[in-house]
Amino acid sequence: MSGQLFIDGVWRDGAGAAASSFDPATGETVWRGATAWKGDVAQAVAAARRALPAWADQPRAARAAALRRYQSALERRAPAFAEALSRETGKALWETKAELGSMRAKVDASLKAYDERTGESHLPTAFGQAVLRHRPHGVMAVLGPFNFPGHLPNGHIVPALLAGDTVVFKPSEETPLAGQMLVEALEEADLPPGVVNLVQGGRDTGAALIAEAIDGLLFTGSASAGAYFRRIFADRPDVILALELGGNNPLVVWDAGDPEAIAALVVQSAFITTGQRCSCARRLIVEDGPAGQAVIDAVAALADRLIVGPWNGAAEPFMGPLISPRAAAAAVAGAERLGGRTVRRLAPIASLGEAFVSPGLVDVTGVEVADEELFAPLLQVRRAASFAEAVGAANATRYGLSAGLISNDPGLWDDFLKQIRAGVVNWNRPTTGAAGTMPFGGLGASGNHRPSAYYAADYCAYPVASFEAAKVLQTISEIKGLRP
């Protein structure tokens, strides 16, 4: 598909360099187009700024109706959109269909969250009333990731539009088609020109966007990029930052019973989406002894049974390729740097293509390992002598996105919940379990204390508190401390 920019309600060619995206399973070109030059970016921000006053002043019902139209457009486009997502990311079709479902559900969740968290309230007082209102921040820059190129930017864009913000969206350079299709669906919602704008490109386009006079940056991506944005905006406190970053997420197994049942939860935590979820388990912490070894053996056996293949292969896969051959090479190199004892090697699958790798399992007990997120299907195993030691190992990270406990002991869950430092903490469920009706975000290097999903409403509008009296009633006699 040929691609364009969408600025001020018009599709147009970019003035920047040509770019392409590829099916990571086959290397086939999926999208090609010209990227946004800095002049294009400036025009997109200017268009969003012009559209802001009228869009912000529309009643909530009018903005909600526009988002309902967008929701309907997503429904109509779902089959083609899901297939495009699979082609561009390599994800299985069952995953991309679910992603489209999450995008549609985000409209309902955002409407509810807006009213609950950032709506309007009136409290009678002796002089009149105290009123709480919320106003949009302004022009929001949204930078999207490649792993959920529809769902994650959608999770910023929908609540921002509902709050009355306008948007300039730059998708990942790996997934420009997904970004274009999202904006095409928004175009069907008949939004006023300039309310949503699309600029395509890589790092230079993103740098041009954040250098403009934006009011907010809504970003989902790596912790290193998040740290960079914190530094860049240190002297721009007027710009709100909402950073949803990565994780080095622990999964503790203790007194849990059936190893095969445990393995099912571990595999879903670590290897779903080929390990390309920020909430994937990266570290498995088990008892040092026969029970822990049984879990490791069961996980390895189940990993051997996982179908790895293209989204449109003869057998429906559990795992597809990584986003690119470059990412696959980096994953293999990262696994080799770990050290430890290899239980299952993360290795290239030459028969499938350069972007495919097998799931890896490495026992790093007693080995010092860098506290980094490796965005791939690689699970580190560490053995602990006690539950207290296991929780200490789980917390031994600068990240704090997700964590999980697999155990049949409610007392251990109570202890774990009190001690673990993470924003998403699950019990006998995959670490990737999350819902749009709850907050999603983390601590430390995993974010900046502005969780997304249901709490996205909080960073899309600011509160305005007012004391209001309909008439001038106060008299001079009510003022204390006046001379006669």
CATH code at position 78: 3.40.605.10
Is residue 6 within 8 A of residue 200, CB to CB? The reply is no
Give me 373's structure tokens.
């997120």
For residue 249, pLDDT beyond 70: yes
Nearest to residue 365, comparing CAs of 281, 287, 449, 481?
287
Give the active site residue among 95, 173, 244, 373: 244
Radius of gyration of the chain (CA): 24
Same domain, 48 and 27: yes
Q: What integer pLDDT is reported at residue 80 of this predicted model? A: 97
- CATH code of the domain in which 396 resides: 3.40.309.10
**pLDDT tens-digit readout, 263-310:** 999 999 999 999 999 999 999 999 999 999 999 999 999 999 999 999
pLDDT in tens, 36-57: 999 999 999 999 999 999 999 9
For residues 240 and 305, state if they share a domain.
no
Buried residues in 190-228 as b, exposed as e (16+ CB within 10 A): ebeebbbbbbbbbebbbebbbebebbbbbbbbbbebbee
Token pair belonging to 390: 């296991």
The region of weakest confidence among 6-15, 40-49, 473-482 is 473-482
Is position 101 within any domain? yes
Measured CA to CA, the distance from residue 23 to residue 438 in angstroms comes to 33
Is 434 inside a domain boundary?
no
458 DSSP assignment: H
Asked whether residue 140 is domain-assigned, the answer is yes
Q: Is residue 121 part of a domain?
A: yes
Would you say 126 and 474 are in contact if contact means Cβ atoms under 8 Å apart?
no
**Residue 481: per-residue pLDDT:** 86
CB 274 within 8 A of CB 315: no
What mean pLDDT comes out for the span 3-7?
Answer: 94
Residues 91, 123, single domain; the answer is yes
- Nearest 10 degrees: Cα torsion 81, 83, 84, 87: 160
The three-class DSSP label of residue 80 is helix
User: Average pLDDT for residues 347-363, to the nearest whole number?
Assistant: 97
Whether 405 and 459 share a structural domain? no
- For β-strands 452-453 and 439-440, DSSP reports them as antiparallel
Short-list 80, 34, 306, 369, CA closest to 176: 34
The answer to whether residues 266 and 196 belong to one domain is: no
Long-range own/partner contacts, residues 364-372 (CB < 8 A, 24 or more apart): 364/338, 364/339, 364/340, 365/288, 365/340, 367/338, 367/339, 367/340, 369/338, 369/339, 369/340, 370/337, 371/248, 371/396, 371/397, 371/398, 371/399, 372/248
pTM of the model: 0.95
- Position 475 pLDDT exceeds 80: no
Residue 373 and residue 224 in contact, taking contact as beta carbons nearer than 8 Å: no
Residues 14 and 130 in one domain: yes
User: pLDDT by residue (tens digit) across 127-163?
Assistant: 899 999 999 999 999 999 999 999 999 999 999 999 9
Look at residue 313 and tell me whether its pLDDT is greater than 80. Answer: yes
Q: pLDDT grade, residue 230 (50/70/90)?
A: very high
Q: Express as a percent the part of the chain with pLDDT over 90.
A: 94
**Cα gap 416→387, rounded to integer Å:** 9
Identify whether 440 is part of a domain.
Answer: no
- On whether residue 475 sits in a domain, the answer given is no
DSSP H or E segment with residue 185 = helix 176-188
Q: Do 262 and 238 share a structural domain?
A: no
In this model, does residue 372 exceed pLDDT 70? yes
pLDDT value for 369: 95
Does 278 qualify as catalytic in the annotation? yes
Mark whether 7 and 111 lie in a shared domain: yes
The whole-angstrom separation of Cα 74 and Cα 377 is 30
Average pLDDT over residues 217-233: 95
Q: Is the pLDDT of residue 478 over 80?
A: no
Report pLDDT for 214: 98
290 and 420 part of one domain: yes
- What is the predicted pLDDT for the residue at 126? 87
Q: Is residue 307 part of a domain?
A: yes
pLDDT of amino acid 1: 67
Query: Quick check: 474 pLDDT over 90?
Result: no
* Residue 86 to residues 71, 153, 274, 317, Cα–Cα distance (Å): 20, 17, 13, 12
Does any domain span residue 371? yes
Which percentage of the chain shows pLDDT scores above 70? 100
Among the options 88, 99, 174, 278, which is catalytic? 278
Distance CA 440, CA 386 (A): 30
Helix (H) or strand (E) holding 156: helix 151-163
Model pLDDT, residue 435 = 86
Do 257 and 390 have their domain in common?
yes
Residue 472 has pLDDT above 90, yes or no: no
What phi and psi, each to the nearest 5 degrees, are found at residue 170?
-115, 110
What letter does residue 37 receive in the DSSP assignment? P
Domain count, the chain: 2
Mean pLDDT (the chain) is 96
Instruction: Tell me how far apart the alpha carbons of residues 206 and 227 are, in angstroms, rounded to a whole number.
Output: 15
**Range(s) of the domain holding residue 118:** 2-245+447-467
If asked whether residues 208 and 90 sit together in one domain, one would say yes
* Cα distance from N-terminal residue to C-terminal residue, the chain: 82
**Residues 216/239, Cβ–Cβ less than 8 Å:** yes
Is residue 280 flagged as an active site residue?
no
Q: What is the DSSP string of 339-351?
A: -SEEEE---B-TT
In a shared domain, residues 130 and 206 = yes
